[in-house]
Amino acid sequence: MAVAALLAACGGESSSDSNERAGTYQVKVVDANFPSEQRLGQTTLMRLAIRNTGEHTVPTLTVTIAIGGKQGENSSLPFGVDDPQAGLAQSDRPVWVLAESYPRFVGSSDPGGASTSNRKTFALGPLKPNQTATAVWKLSAVKAGDWTVAYRVGAGLGTQVKAEIANGGEPGGTFVATITSDLPETEVTDDGEVVEIQDPRSSGRE
């Protein structure tokens, strides 16, 4: 399923930003990781490394995130779905809960993504030529199921600012993740301690 199709109904960013230089900027997703198998209550990290491969500073690097399908498209949450049940005061239901002060840049304890008028879009700031920004989202799984998470990279909040990869396509990708309610697999260490078996698997590079 195309990233553009998954994100088409998410809404755009701000219509203009006087501080942004209109144009098309070259960027590339050089690394993308998110565990493909998770369980309820588990906390995992979604990581995106994005490089400015062009000759000009990207005005405002943005990442727009949405869960695939009609329920994801109709939700205002980046990691949530819309519950069609009638009579609900709030129909948005999270699939993952995003930890406070995330996303962050790798190696930093400070928030790395400013909020925008679109809750699904995170503004990561300017990115100079030949530099790579690696952002991390800390997420806790709260709704079981099979999910597709789509992400799209932008170069600004204004409509006249575009991002593209070298061949002219739109930078972005998807993660496919299954959240189960199964108990974790465990093993006994040489010291007699029962520990969870760690087997993180990820996918989703653009």
Contacts of 104 (CB under 8 A, 6+ apart): 110, 111, 112, 113, 135, 136, 138
Q: Is residue 196 part of a domain?
A: no
Q: Taking 70 as the threshold, does the pLDDT of residue 11 lie above it?
A: no
Alpha helices (H) along 24-174: 70-74
For the chain, the domain total comes to 1
Residue 114: pLDDT band with limits 50, 70, 90: confident
Of 17-31, 39-53, 80-94, give the range with the top mean pLDDT. 39-53
Instruction: Indicate yes or no: pTM above 0.75.
Output: yes
Find the CATH number of the domain harbouring 158: 2.60.40.10
Residue 77: give the domain boundaries.
25-81+91-180
pLDDT at residue 187 is higher than 80: no
Q: Confirm whether 4 is domain-assigned.
A: no
Distance linking the first and last C-alpha atoms of the chain: 13
Does some domain include residue 7?
no
Which helix (H) or strand (E) is 26 found in, with range? strand 23-33
Residue 14 lies inside a defined structural domain of this protein = no
Judge whether 194 lies within some domain.
no
- Answer whether residue 40 is part of any domain: yes
Q: What is the mean pLDDT of residues 56-79?
A: 95
Q: Is residue 31 assigned to a domain?
A: yes
Backbone angles phi, psi at 176, to 5 degrees: -115, 120
Does some domain include residue 143? yes
